Amino acid sequence: MADRRRRTLLTVLVLVSIVLITVDYRGGDGGPVGAVRRGVGSVFVPLQEGLATVVRPVGNLFSSIGDFGDLRSENAQLARDLEEARLQMRVQADLERRLEEAEGQLGLREELGLRTVGARAIAEPPSAFERSLLVDAGADQGVLEGMAVLVADGLVGRVVDVGARTARVELATSPEAGYAVRVAATGEQGFLSGRGGQPLALQPRDPNAAIEPDAEVVTHAYTGTTIPDGLPVGRVAGAEGGASAGVPLRAVLPFVDFSRLVQVQIVLGEIEPESVPAPTQLDQATPTPDSG
């Protein structure tokens, strides 16, 4: 019974509220209900503004999250662009270095009057324990065993094995390698041998020869050798403190950095001097005065 009365009272209140709202709407802001509404508004508007103040940063946060995603995408693109630019710079630097090396090798070839064929290393650069280098030029390019191999800085070694399109180069640092050399400034001759990762060893022909430190050593050609004369080899570092067959040794620091060999030149021979045609019988004839 009590529940029915409460439901009836609630129904009446709802109907009265609807009537008041309708009257207030038709009457505009006037009327008692309008006054009540304005009073309620004066109470709730500050609360709404306060709620908006609290909620607004949250909305801005969600908006910033979207912006952050865009920034992250832009940063990723910038990072890719930067890495590509760095790669291009490295490629450009490598090309410039290789061009400089090629120009130096061709310059040395022209200076010494040599015919060469270019070859590229097709294996990792040699380490302190490796004594040879495999290159991509062979018999098809005119390469023969014993031919000298050089770079712009000087002597690399000699060819010891030849295939159709490849060749193996024994480095000058190999303990099995030996070359006839001379001191460029004085002409003092000697024998140069490799010692792996240590400096080259120079054994002067004259045990009493005075060889100054920092003197340049070059190859010395003799009959039967395939090594051209005058190829730069290295500089004398000083007395070695040892001797071979009673002759004191000199340490020689090679000009070539054997750990950076990429492009080399194989010496095919010397450039033949241009032949001058022999004078003909007509050229040798002495002109006679015109009798007329």
Sequence ranges of the domains in the chain: 11-112, 113-270
Nearest to 187, CA basis, from 226, 217, 227 = 217
Q: Which CATH number fits domain 113-270: 3.40.50.150, 2.40.10.340, 3.30.1280.10, 2.60.120.10?
A: 2.40.10.340
Predicted pLDDT at 203 = 92
Q: Which residues of the chain fall below pLDDT 70?
A: 1-69, 87, 89-111, 125, 127-129, 239-246, 272-292
Share of the chain above pLDDT 70, in %: 56
Between the alpha carbon of residue 50 and those of residues 39, 44, 55, 118, the distances in Å are 18, 10, 9, 82
Predicted pLDDT at 31 = 53
Cross-strand bridge partners of residue 270: 114
Half-sphere exposure of 123 (CA within 13 A, CB side): 12
- Structure tokens of 227? 């090594």
What pLDDT, in 10s, does the model give residues 130-164?
789 999 999 999 999 999 999 999 999 999 999 99
Predicted pLDDT at 266 = 94
**Rounded Cα gap, residues 270 and 267, in angstroms:** 8
**SS3 sequence, 231-280?**
CEEEEEEEEEEEEECCEEEEEEEECCCHHHCCEEEEEEEECCCCCCCCCC
**Rounded Cα gap, residues 163 and 140, in angstroms:** 8
